[in-house]
Structure 1
Amino acid sequence: MTDSSEANKERNRQIARNEEAKQIMGSIRVSTWAVAVAVVVGAIVFALIWIAARS
């Protein structure tokens, strides 16, 4: 019975590690998109200000 219990605990630990890795990768992916969107919005705002200043 102890071997089965230990195997289940190890399996649960592995599942928890896998879930943690998935969450980290998801967070990195979201952060990358957020930075990309911020850069694009910043470029648009900069272009609008630059165009307005030249007029």
Structure 2
Amino acid sequence: MSDSESENKQRDKAIARNEAQREAVSSLRVSSWAIGAALIAGLVVFAIVWVWLRR
């Protein structure tokens, strides 16, 4: 293998690692938003049911 091919492979591996890390961070961010939205929706439903039962 020539030096340029080796350098290209190393650069491609580094790019792949960076993309994998970026994707993991993005997935975590989306998951956090989904959990937060589910908690808020659950609290709203709980409050509505609680008010309905206490009337």
Is TM more than 0.5 here?
Answer: yes
Q: What residue is the counterpart of 1:8 in the other structure?
A: 8
Give TM-score scaled by structure 2 length: 0.96
Q: Which runs of 5+ in 2 are unaligned?
A: none
Total equivalences in the alignment? 55
Give TM-score scaled by structure 1 length: 0.96
Q: Which runs of 5+ in 1 are unaligned?
A: none
CA RMSD of aligned residues (A): 0.9
Identical positions, percent: 44
- Which runs of structure 1 show a deviation greater than 3 angstroms over 4 or more consecutive aligned residues? none
